[in-house]
Chains A and B, each alone.
Chain A
Amino acid sequence: MEKIKAELIVVGAGPGGYSAAFYAADRGKKVILVEQDDRLGGVCLNRGCIPSKALLHAAKLISETKEFAKNGIEFGEPRIDLNKLREWKNSILLKLSHGVSMLAQRRNVQVVRGRAYFEDSKTIRVETSEGQKFYTYDHAIIAVGSKPAMPKAFDLGNPRIMTSTEALEIEDIPETLLVIGGGYIGMELGTVYSILGSKVVIAEALPNILTGADPDLAKPVAARARKNFQEIRVSAKVKEMATAGKKIRVVMEHDGKIKDELYDKVLVAVGRSPNHEDLGLENTLVQLDEKGFIKVNEHQQTDDPNIYAIGDIVGGAMLAHKATKEGRIAVEVITGESSAFEDIIIPAVVFTEPELAWCGLTEAEAKAKGISVEISKFPWAASGRALTFDKTDGLTKLIVEPETERILGIGIVGHGAGELIAEGVVLIEMGATVRDLAEAVHPHPTLSETLMEAAEAFYGYATHIYTRPKKTVE
């Protein structure tokens, strides 16, 4: 059989895979990008980040207009045309995925549609619509991503039990919706459905929603969610689910009581699992960890010398921008640079109401690791811009190394926190000090001032809050 030779084969065209393919092509490599889906862009573009953000935008539009009634502008009840909304959302995805295809073409990255299978460490077989094709390569990057986890006990084959993939299709707006999992996916999609009109109950097994974020930052999110949602249940364990006519019967243990309830739909958002199956990895030297993620070193190298892996399939934070960075590192290593995934700041954003974002060290992490830090906070009630947005439920927080006054972490909760956190990433990556931040003029009136004022508050001279000066200005 004839084997087609490529310098680099990237398996999976999500944000990690396609950006790695493009970057390698930009560096002069002959690249083949394999994708089993009709559309490029992976989960992020088709079933994750982008569609959820489109729906969240729609939801926020509704809640903002409703909330503004008290300030003198009132609209009638919104008329929701789900088909049109879905169409709009899908048009975005189409546009973006088409854009990715165009960019691939411009770079001479050959896109092969089909399922990839490693025959051995040197050969990939792709099942295409025109039959099997065989490829050899100098290097391969595995970027096959992850899928929503669906525990066996919940997998009844009933379409009323959804994962994020189905939920993003908004087939209807169920009257009652149970969201299992209070992480960022559950909270975001819960927000969408609750604002569109569902009565949403969140059931989280852990004692807190949005674990990973500092509790003081998660608090405004939880407070707002309690208004939007019917109920937030923490330390809640779903025992049993069963089809009950046109409903789902759910037995749950919560607050020491067993609750037996009926829901129109259930969204299972209990995490994501790696797509390691049916890849032929057993024919290579690639090793998996006990959770099924591919093991890689700091250079994104697997145990097979020619095979790299990036993104969700290697575990860690399952975020598109982490995958993209890992892809860059893999390509740089392949092209002879000594890049490594070391001390890289990966920001996290939860697009709830209000948004929650953080980067670098969290306060909780500092405690756990025994790193002594000083905290400086600026509450948004003191921000003029937050008041004009009518969104004062926010907080900007700096986590600071006391000795050097270096900024180790930043947390922001509030309107547009996802955009604001980018400044924090640059500050930490640059090794900036609180003084650097305090001295840099931020435009007025913007929410970005809250960062500067949090820095000023560290020294006790923030203009818009009064704190007893604790440090003399040098």
Chain B
Amino acid sequence: MEIKLPNLGEGADSGTVVNIMVSEGETVTAGQPLIEIETGKAVASVPAEKSGKIIKILVNVGDKVTVGRTLMILEAEGEPEKATTAQPERKIEPQAEKTTAKPVAQKIEIEEVPVEEETEEDEQKGILPPAASPTIRKLARELGIDLRHVKGTGPGGRIQMSDLKAYIARLHKLAQLALKKEAQPQTVPQPVSIDFSQWGPITKRPMSQLRQTIAKRMLESVTTIPQVTQFDEVDITRLEELRKKFAPQYEAKGARLTFTVIVLKALVMALRKHPIFNSSLDELTNEIIFKNYYHIGIAVDTEAGLVVPVVRNVDHKSAYELAVDLATLAKKARERKLGLDDMRGGTFTISNQGGIGGGHFTPIVNKPEAAILGIGKSQLKPVVVNGKIEPRLMLPLAVSYDHRLIDGGDAARFITDLCNAFSQITEKDLILA
């Protein structure tokens, strides 16, 4: 018997042979995969319909094959093939032909969106022209309809005018459905206005431009990026003492040594070790872009709303320079003097709520960046140090990341290294030159 390429499903009438899993003369059992075909959508294997011996393999790896093409000759057990007749005497066993052909079409494993009601695919159907009168074939050609997809209800499956009309009506309905779906994406419910005044007095205020921009960007981030947040706490008792120690010197020079300066120092160390957190995904080309610079955005809470100015080349700057930059940007932000250039080109963002309060939270990745660090308010907590409970100043850290680029393990390693980076910061890093 001939092993033919069965129907691969809608839209796939051909494929490429990627693997031949048997050789000529080999004995196979029913259901054993013989050959693998790649169809653009999936790789599918063609199983043996019956147990027997492979007499001949008619294709090679790399061959493009179309549905119905004979792939191999199988001598089924107990019914030896007439050695050379390429032509199977179908007339004698039309029954066998029918019963074997169909299960194969089902056996083939392809994940596919099921297409609405299809006519039963016959092996012959692909080769023979559709049964329809010249009038109907002409009309179909004019309308660009492939009659092989039209189910004929006439004698012998002949396509009649009524069949063509029914098919066109169905296409029309499908097109309308698709249009409706497009107009109303199911994930976003249609906005509706609710009259809240029915339950009590209300005041209305238009959404500011900034608010609208924030809303749009946040929505875009959460709807297009699968995000995960990783939590940790870092002991900053020693660093807080250091900060307090050096703060007056900074103040004398007109700068403020905030904890954000220290975070920037630690963060760059961690980013250097984990460049994927300093990268971006090009969604068009599917390329990951690693940036060899470290421009860190700082989320600043202003009266108008959230803005994110960027501190440039953090890796090249001293703690003092960072402190000056931060102060300048914060001032500009509050005075609403930030230019577009001040807010562009960030590679990673820090959202520090430490000055306000609250513990862990889940920041939203600032697209197109790959991750964001959220910092909560540090608190004295009882911590076991060397077997004894000690009060330690603990800083809550939260890293949200784009799971398309970064896996959980990477995130755990990153946050661990970030914590370690804090412990590596010494007086030397903060001392003024």
Contacts and interface: CB of A to CB of B under 8 A. Distances in A.
B418 interface: no
B87 A406 contact: no
Interface in A391-436: 401-406, 408, 429-433, 435-436
B142 interface: yes
Contacts of A404: 131, 156-157
A338 B142 contact: yes
Contacts of B159: 431
B105 interface: no
B191 interface: no
B274 interface: no
B137 A403 contact: no
Interface stretch (A45-53, A224-232, A365-373): A365-373
B141 A431 contact: no
Contact of A369 (B127, B133, B142, B144): B127
Could you say which interface size class chain A belongs to?
A: 20 to 34
A340 interface: yes
Contacts of A402: 90-91, 94
Could you say which interface size class chain B belongs to?
A: 20 to 34
Contacts of A436: 155
Nearest to B143: A338
A401 B128 contact: yes
B24 interface: no
A405 B87 contact: no
A432 B160 CA distance: 11
Given A430-B133, A436-B155, A370 B128 contact: no
A372 B124 contact: yes
A337 interface: yes
Contact of B142 (A337, A367, A429): A337
A90 to B, nearest CB: 37
B137 to A, nearest CB: 7
Given A404-B156, A405-B156, A429 B131 contact: no
B200 interface: no
A371 B127 CA distance: 8
B97 A372 contact: yes
A422 B155 CA distance: 22
Contacts of A337: 142
B134 interface: yes
Interface in B117-161: 122, 124, 127-134, 137-138, 141-142, 144, 152, 154-159
Which of A337, A403, A408 has the most chain B CB atoms closer than 10 A to its own CB? A403
A369 B86 CA distance: 10
B70 interface: yes
B158 A431 contact: yes
Interface in A304-339: 337-339
Interface in B56-85: 68, 70
A77 interface: no
B38 to A, nearest CB: 24
Given A372-B94, A401-B128, A403-B122, A339 B137 contact: no
B119 to A, nearest CB: 12
Contacts of A169: none
A195 to B, nearest CB: 39
B133 A339 contact: no
B155 A401 contact: no
B142 to A, nearest CB: 5
B154 to A, nearest CB: 8
B87 A431 contact: no
A70 B188 CA distance: 94
Which of A343, A401, A404, A429 has the most chain B CB atoms closer than 10 A to its own CB? A404
A253 interface: no
Contacts of A338: 141-142, 144
Given A340-B141, A433-B155, A435-B155, A372 B90 contact: yes
Contacts of A370: 2, 68, 70, 87-88, 127
B127 A406 contact: no
Nearest to A340: B141
Given A343-B129, A370-B70, A431 B91 contact: no
Nearest to B160: A431
Contacts of A373: 90
B302 to A, nearest CB: 64
A430 B129 CA distance: 12
B296 to A, nearest CB: 60
Nearest to B124: A371
Contact of A403 (B124, B134, B141): B124
A427 to B, nearest CB: 11
A408 B128 contact: yes
A111 B133 CA distance: 36
Contacts of B98: 403
A229 B133 CA distance: 43
A374 interface: yes
A374 B124 CA distance: 13
B129 A433 contact: no
A371 B126 CA distance: 10
B159 to A, nearest CB: 7
A371 B131 contact: no
A38 interface: no
Nearest to A436: B155
A342 interface: yes
B128 to A, nearest CB: 7
Contacts of A367: 87
Contacts of B156: 401, 404-406, 431-433, 435
B138 A339 contact: yes
A312 to B, nearest CB: 24
Given A371-B128, A372-B97, A431 B133 contact: yes
A431 B94 contact: no
Contacts of A401: 124, 128, 156
B124 A431 contact: no
Nearest to B70: A370
Contacts of B122: 403
B213 to A, nearest CB: 51
A433 B87 contact: no
Nearest to B122: A403
Which of B94, B122, B131, B152 has the most chain A CB atoms closer than 10 A to its own CB? B131
B141 A339 contact: yes
A431 B131 contact: yes
Given A338-B141, A342-B141, A431-B156, A372 B127 contact: no
Contacts of A372: 88, 90-91, 94, 97, 124
Contacts of A431: 130-133, 152, 154, 156, 158-159
Which of B68, B98, B156 has the most chain A CB atoms closer than 10 A to its own CB? B156
Interface in A95-123: none
21 contacts: A337-B142, A339-B141, A340-B141, A343-B130, A370-B2, A370-B70, A370-B88, A372-B88, A372-B124, A375-B91, A401-B128, A403-B122, A403-B124, A406-B131, A431-B156, A431-B158, A431-B159, A432-B155, A432-B158, A433-B156, A433-B158
Nearest 6 interchain pairs by C-beta: A431-B131, A343-B129, A372-B90, A404-B156, A433-B156, A406-B156
